[in-house]
Amino acid sequence: MKIIFYEKNTDTGAWLRNFARELPEADVRVWEPGDTAPADYAVVWRAPRELFAHRPDLKAVFNLGAGVDAILDAERKEPGTLPRNAMLVRLEDSGMARQMVEYASYAVLRYMRRLDEYEALQREGRWEKLTQHARRDFTVGVLGLGVLGGEVARGLLALGVPVRGFSRTPKTIEGVDVYAGPERFDAFLDGAKMLINLLPHTPDTEGVLNARTFGRLAHGAYLVNVARGAHLVDDDLIAALDSGQLAAAMLDVFHTEPLPQAHPFWQHPRVSVTPHVSAETLREESVVQIAAKIRALARGEAISGIVDIARGY
Ligand code: NAP
Ligand code: GLV
């Protein structure tokens, strides 16, 4: 079996060594422009269109991330980008859920205990005690209850805060107040003290973090965006922070990455910026997952994590 691998900014040698260990029967090569030799599988992150061209034999494309928005956006703009017969498979957790729970838990503790404000007071040399937010009033809404959002919602229960979740289809998560479908969106938002976004970026979810959404949250609420920059209307966030409707935001993803130096988020005193690291793709876990799926496909078995291209995630 032949596998082509493409990820631009990584230690490709280390990936090949992991594949050699997990899938010794496979011939795995790093794809270079001009390589049109046959391949059964592609393992890629943000691959150029050329990689997929003239590969009718490709059985599956494994996306080295949970989000498939970049590859589906390319397909929408230039239909036929994805090989017609290949299924698109995304990473499912593979060590990302735990990282997301850590990031979200940190955000809840940081803002519920007002540690961001104490950091600002320290910079001014001021010894001042602030009233903590009451835990029972610190309702956290998790947007998206999939592989990552579901784990985040469950994980936050350990902090004792009320947790709500929003998804497209109904689901049951013990201890979490679940709202499903667009008609329940406002009820999900109403009065929440923190909104954590873990939706996939699709045409339906683009711009969902906007002035209307912020307006339904509690006054002085917090925003955490760990999904995609395209979910957020940047100017609406700045306006909501300026008006006090939002108290602060923790952002890991941006319309343009790296975040341009001139962007106001860098200097805003109530915006925390991290460089798309809330949940990184872990090499070992990812290779183990992909190798297991390739073996299952070879045995003719069904696998999970196949992207519904029409649905967009
Ligand atoms: P997932 O398992 O596909 O879950 C997506 C969730 O969103 C599902 O609960 C789905 O509802 C819900 N959803 C989708 N469209 C919706 C809509 N229009 N209205 C309401 N709910 C909707 O995805 P995941 O693995 O949890 O990953 C989520 C996203 O996290 C990725 O797409 C990626 O953008 C982002 N991410 C970011 C990082 C980072 O480092 N910043 C790392 C990994 C992933 P149903 O359950 O009803 O289908
Ligand atoms: C990272 O952003 C991912 O989608 O896995």
164 catalytic? Reply is no
Q: Tell me, what amino acid is at 21? A: R
Ligand closest in space to the Cα of 100: 1
Are 262 and 182 found together in one domain? yes
Are 159 and 253 found together in one domain? yes
- Structure token pair of residue 270: 């109530």
Are 122 and 50 found together in one domain? no
Q: Quick check: is 305 in a domain? A: no
Confidence check: pLDDT of 66 > 90: yes
Comparing CA positions, the residue from 135, 141, 68 lying closest to residue 104 is 141
Atom 4 in ligand 2: residue holding the nearest Cα: 67
Q: Quick check: is 248 in a domain? A: yes
Are 202 and 61 found together in one domain? no
Phi, psi of 172 (to 5 degrees): -115, 125
Are 156 and 257 found together in one domain? yes
29 catalytic? Reply is no
Are 78 and 140 found together in one domain? no
- Ligand 1 center to residue 24 CA distance, Å? 33
- Structure token pair of residue 23: 């899938």
C-beta 89 within 6 A of ligand 2? no
Q: Quick check: is 166 in a domain? A: yes
Yes or no: say if 151 and 173 are a contact pair by the CB < 8 Å rule: no
* Dihedral, 191, 197, 198, 200 alpha carbons, nearest 10: 110
- Where residue 101 sits, what CATH number does that domain have? 3.40.50.720
Q: Quick check: is 163 in a domain? A: yes
- Ligand 1 center to residue 149 CA distance, Å? 7
- Does the predicted TM-score (pTM) go above 0.85? yes
In the sheet with 2-6, reading across from the earlier edge strand, the strands are: 27-30, 2-6, 41-44, 60-63, 87-89
- What pLDDT shows up at residue 74? 93
- Structure token pair of residue 291: 């190798």
Confidence check: pLDDT of 104 > 90: yes
Yes or no: say if 114 and 130 are a contact pair by the CB < 8 Å rule: yes
Distance between CA atoms of 6 and 29, rounded to whole angstroms?
9
- What pLDDT shows up at residue 234? 99
Q: Quick check: is 304 in a domain? A: no
Question: Residues of 34-52 as b/e, b for ≥16 C-beta within 10 angstroms?
Answer: eeeeebbbbbbbebeeebb
Are 67 and 178 found together in one domain? no
Compute the half-sphere exposure of residue 234: CA atoms within 13 Å on the CB side of its CA. Answer: 14
- Number of domain units in the chain: 2
Confidence check: pLDDT of 16 > 90: yes
- What pLDDT shows up at residue 84? 86
Phi, psi of 130 (to 5 degrees): -110, 150
What residues does 271 pair with on adjacent strands? 249
C-beta 67 within 6 A of ligand 2? yes
- What pLDDT shows up at residue 120? 97
Are 151 and 165 found together in one domain? yes
- Ligand 1 center to residue 7 CA distance, Å? 22
Q: Quick check: is 292 in a domain? A: yes
Are 122 and 164 found together in one domain? yes
- Structure token pair of residue 94: 């593979």
* pLDDT tens-digit series, residues 212-250: 999 999 999 999 999 999 999 999 999 999 999 999 999
92, 148, 285, best to mutate for ligand 1 pocket (most atoms within 8 Å of CB): 148
Work out which ligand 2 atom sits closest to the CA atom of 91. Answer: 5
Question: Domain range holding 289?
Answer: 2-94+281-298
Are 37 and 169 found together in one domain? no
Annotated active-site residue in 110, 228, 231, 283: 228
- Structure token pair of residue 259: 């975040």
Q: Quick check: is 61 in a domain? A: yes
Are 252 and 215 found together in one domain? yes
Are 211 and 151 found together in one domain? yes
- Ligand 1 center to residue 2 CA distance, Å? 31
pLDDT band per the 50, 70, 90 thresholds, residue 54: confident
Q: What is the mean pLDDT of residues 177-196?
A: 98
Q: Quick check: is 48 in a domain? A: yes
Report the mean per-residue pLDDT for the chain: 97
Confidence check: pLDDT of 283 > 90: yes
Tokens 């200097």 identify what position?
267
